[in-house]
């Protein structure tokens, strides 16, 4: 994902904090941890989430609060026709985890 130039501070403001009902939806859909990082130079965002279930994670997109959130964010970041943020899948090239 990315943020339009000059909208970095607004993007951060809107996440400090996110709407309580969106937070509750994320938790109720199995989100264990969720972080978004901003590269201020390029405006690129990197999101990292640990979830209980990929199915529950995917269901978040169909919730009313998520749809409202996307609509509220479309003016400050590139969006698809359904208002979801334009995102590019990254391929994992390295991972280590202590057993």
Residue 84 lies in a domain: no
Average pLDDT over residues 1-11: 97
Q: Note the pLDDT tens digit of each residue in 36-51.
A: 999 989 999 999 999 9
Q: What is the pLDDT of residue 59?
A: 98
User: Which pLDDT band, with edges at 50, 70 and 90, does 6 fall under?
Assistant: very high
Range of the structural domain that residue 51 is part of:
8-73
Q: What is the pLDDT of residue 97?
A: 92
User: Which pLDDT band, with edges at 50, 70 and 90, does 60 fall under?
Assistant: very high
Query: Which CATH number does the domain housing residue 47 bear?
Result: 3.30.70.100
Give 47's strand partners: 36
Active site residue 23: no
Please pick, among 4, 15, 29, 95, the residue that the annotation labels catalytic.
15
How far is residue 15's CA from residue 45's CA, in Å, rounded to a whole number?
Answer: 13
* 14 phi, psi to nearest 5 deg: -70, -15
How far is residue 34's CA from residue 48's CA, in Å, rounded to a whole number?
Answer: 6
pTM as predicted: 0.91
Residue 42 lies in a domain: yes
User: Which pLDDT band, with edges at 50, 70 and 90, does 61 fall under?
Assistant: very high
């Amino acid at each position: 994902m990315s943020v339009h130039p000059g909208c970095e501070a607004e993007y951060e403001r809107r996440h400090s904090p996110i709407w309580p009902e969106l937070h509750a939806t994320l938790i109720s859909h199995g989100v264990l941890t969720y972080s978004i990082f901003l590269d201020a130079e390029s405006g690129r965002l990197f999101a990292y989430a640990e979830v209980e279930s990929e199915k529950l994670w995917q269901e978040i997109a169909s919730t009313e609060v998520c749809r409202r959130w996307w609509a509220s964010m479309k003016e400050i970041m590139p969006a698809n026709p359904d208002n979801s943020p334009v995102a590019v899948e990254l391929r994992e090239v390295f991972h280590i985890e202590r057993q």
